[in-house]
Structure 1
């Protein structure tokens, strides 16, 4: 099982200057390697017999790839000695980022969609570097040892859990300072087996064998209320971005009044705006974690709709949908339930609002209609009806059937 913990760093002035220098050099290296790939793509993206006669035909060149660009780092260090101060693993990881970004642009995913054209990074858009391999004992007391940077003070607000080993380390520069993200790798064991048993697949979280399938809930996320459960418990929506919109407009106005780029006054105004966005994001994330913990502690099985959030975010309700943060919330619920030994089930959202939760008949209604009334006599709120339908759709889900068979085989 893999998890990630993030801690606050307190570097010295010299360490902070060194990390900022690294970020700038890595950004320039990223842009250079990306430009190499774009040059090859522009010259070789169509066959020779398909090129127009009016253009010059460039000689075929070898496609830049990860290992070739990584070997060329030796020439880079010879021409630019400042790159020798950067740890080799961090520099190679920069090439890996270019590889992943360009591959997403050229190759389509399983649904046939490709990512957009990669952009060259500005100073504000390249804010992290990664150690792909780091010693498991790098954290000692209140300091973390970063190769070629030294011992940096770290605020360990929570200890690293037992049984987990540090695999990678990412240093991130945010609006309010420096942070380090540790990727932790642990091994899962079946709860019914002794500790010295053979570990199971460590990429799949362990499902607790005592999951009570009667203790299940269906949730329906929305914009009028953040979510409504099948037990008719309502969580109001906070709308952090909308409530702080007046403050954001003032900060944007103050930034626009400082047109001369590069001045300290403009940098300070931009930093105030960045901290505002960071505060809103942290408020939303804190709210998501609190609601997710409440659901995980109360229920063993959580059913939710498998929403196409990217598609919904292109509608007229995009601002409210992005402010609610459904995608981040559902990701947190899935991760929290998995770590607690629970089960999450994603069901098809088609018809959950229009279908009656009692008789199953379709009751068409517009988005403005917030109450569900059926000829069978059922009368309840629209979101409550949808949450019950979500729970009913999850009862015959293959995930629950597989868990039921596993539990019978263990008890049998």
Structure 2
């Protein structure tokens, strides 16, 4: 199986390079070519079907590829096509991904049999075509009545995993019930670092910081690894220990996210969260240049610790994946609202109360409201999510007079 992954990785990189070669040489229309351009021989654009047909001569030139199942090779071509299509055209919503990268060593970790059958499974053993019978740990029995669609074999830090995809067309898709959000059945949630979640009912939960807890152990292993020569057996063993530690941290965080999402789902029918762009929040600071052209301090050294805390908390994965999944499974709604103004205004009197990032407590000079900053934001997120046409008074930039600001979901 390791040999299969390595051969699939090589062919994946070759097909991706073929796509890039055509993209750089032939993508320009004939009436809009640049004045300076390399002259390339015109050829048809490689696509999924042409690259899949290239597998036949590949097996003739390189006979060792015959030992890989044909459908596994075709699925590899499908992965190349999907990665390149997302880069050039985007997904169903029009959002484009970054430029696909070539797979380095040990970076191609999964191969898939797209047409599987229940006959492959016999108790705790599975018969994989061209591989043979493999014993596996079945942590729960496969339900009856479902058709086995695909089987994916993955290499992770602690061993090999097999993933089954099941389908039962007789099971209807149950739509989420229509719920009208009210003051009683809704909950506002503010996500952050001091409190991982702060709810509009006043409850908070601090992040466990799994990575910070394992940081010393991780640093010792990495320092010990650097003392070993590259390519040595000792270095490979230390790399395996480091990978297992990272995997353990990720699984701890994932488990904690699911437990936290379950607690929120039990509290309300509608959960309002901020539509945060975490990728923009952890972006590097822009460099500052002095008069002589030298670089000035821009605060990136301090922000690097903040970025590490964001990555350790996993806010984006929780808000975009775990919480919507748990809510949909329980028949609840997760609604994202505009985060503008939710941290700089009072949730009680709606007056503007400017705060720096280091100010972690909200004290309103107008209505004397006093509470944690994140709890104040959670209450305001709930009000914005309920659709109230809130009038937030703030000072104008030029005249200094108070003018209304409307926030809507």
Scaled by the length of structure 2, the TM-score of the pair is: 0.81
2:33 to 43, 46, 50: 50
**Cα distance in 2 between the residues matched to 1:274 and 1:347:** 37
Query: Which residue is equivalent to 2:212?
Result: 242
30-39 or 101-110: bigger deviation? 101-110
Question: Is the CA contact (8 Å cut-off) linking 2:72 and 2:114 kept in structure 1?
Answer: yes
Query: Which residue is equivalent to 1:65?
Result: 47
Query: Which residue is equivalent to 1:338?
Result: 328
Going from structure 1 to structure 2, the CA distance change for 1:130 and 1:296 (only over 3 Å counts) comes to: same
1:281 to 224, 227, 250: 250
1:301 to 261, 270, 274: 270
- Tell me, which stretches of 5 or more residues in structure 1 are unaligned? 1-18, 190-198, 398-412
Task: Provide Cα deviations, 1:36-70, integer angstroms capped at 9, x if missing partner.
Answer: 112222322435663446x6522211111110010
Going from structure 1 to structure 2, the CA distance change for 1:231 and 1:138 (only over 3 Å counts) comes to: farther
Going from structure 1 to structure 2, the CA distance change for 1:41 and 1:27 (only over 3 Å counts) comes to: same
1:373: Cα distance to partner? 2.1
**Cα distance in 2 between the residues matched to 1:220 and 1:162:** 42
1:258 maps to 2:228: yes
Secondary structure of the corresponding residue to residue 179 of structure 1: strand
**Cα distance in 2 between the residues matched to 1:303 and 1:188:** 34
Query: Which residue is equivalent to 1:328?
Result: 317
Query: Which residue is equivalent to 2:200?
Result: 230
Task: Provide Cα deviations, 1:115-155, integer angstroms capped at 9, x if missing partner.
Answer: 43322212211111112222255444323343332333232
Question: Is the CA contact (8 Å cut-off) linking 1:188 and 1:206 kept in structure 2?
Answer: no
1:298: Cα distance to partner? 3.2
**Cα distance in 2 between the residues matched to 1:44 and 1:82:** 33
**Cα distance in 2 between the residues matched to 1:370 and 1:112:** 38
**Cα distance in 1 between the residues matched to 2:146 and 2:338:** 36
2:63 to 70, 81, 90: 81
1:164: Cα distance to partner? 4.6
Task: Provide Cα deviations, 1:261-302, integer angstroms capped at 9, x if missing partner.
Answer: 2x2222112111111111111111111111112222333222
Query: Which residue is equivalent to 2:400?
Result: none
Secondary structure of the corresponding residue to residue 228 of structure 1: strand
180-189 or 106-115: bigger deviation? 106-115
Question: Is the CA contact (8 Å cut-off) linking 2:84 and 2:100 kept in structure 1?
Answer: yes
**Cα distance in 1 between the residues matched to 2:69 and 2:238:** 33
Query: Which residue is equivalent to 1:386?
Result: 377
1:345: Cα distance to partner? 1.2
Going from structure 1 to structure 2, the CA distance change for 1:96 and 1:109 (only over 3 Å counts) comes to: closer
Question: Is the CA contact (8 Å cut-off) linking 1:255 and 1:270 kept in structure 2?
Answer: yes
247-256 or 169-178: bigger deviation? 247-256
Task: Provide Cα deviations, 1:339-360, integer angstroms capped at 9, x if missing partner.
Answer: 1111111111111111221222
344-353 or 211-220: bigger deviation? 211-220
147-156 or 67-76: bigger deviation? 147-156
Secondary structure of the corresponding residue to residue 117 of structure 1: coil
**Mapping of residues 129-278 of structure 1, within 5 Å:** 129-136=111-118, 138-161=120-143, 164-186=146-168, 199=172, 202=173, 206-208=175-177, 214-261=184-231, 263-278=232-247
**Cα distance in 1 between the residues matched to 2:94 and 2:379:** 34
**Cα distance in 1 between the residues matched to 2:363 and 2:88:** 50
Going from structure 1 to structure 2, the CA distance change for 1:320 and 1:358 (only over 3 Å counts) comes to: same
Task: Provide Cα deviations, 1:90-127, integer angstroms capped at 9, x if missing partner.
Answer: 11011111112222333356898744332221221111
Going from structure 1 to structure 2, the CA distance change for 1:277 and 1:350 (only over 3 Å counts) comes to: same
**Cα distance in 2 between the residues matched to 1:377 and 1:151:** 71
Going from structure 1 to structure 2, the CA distance change for 1:299 and 1:155 (only over 3 Å counts) comes to: farther
1:121 to 86, 89, 103: 103
1:24: Cα distance to partner? 0.9
Secondary structure of the corresponding residue to residue 298 of structure 1: coil
Going from structure 1 to structure 2, the CA distance change for 1:170 and 1:109 (only over 3 Å counts) comes to: closer
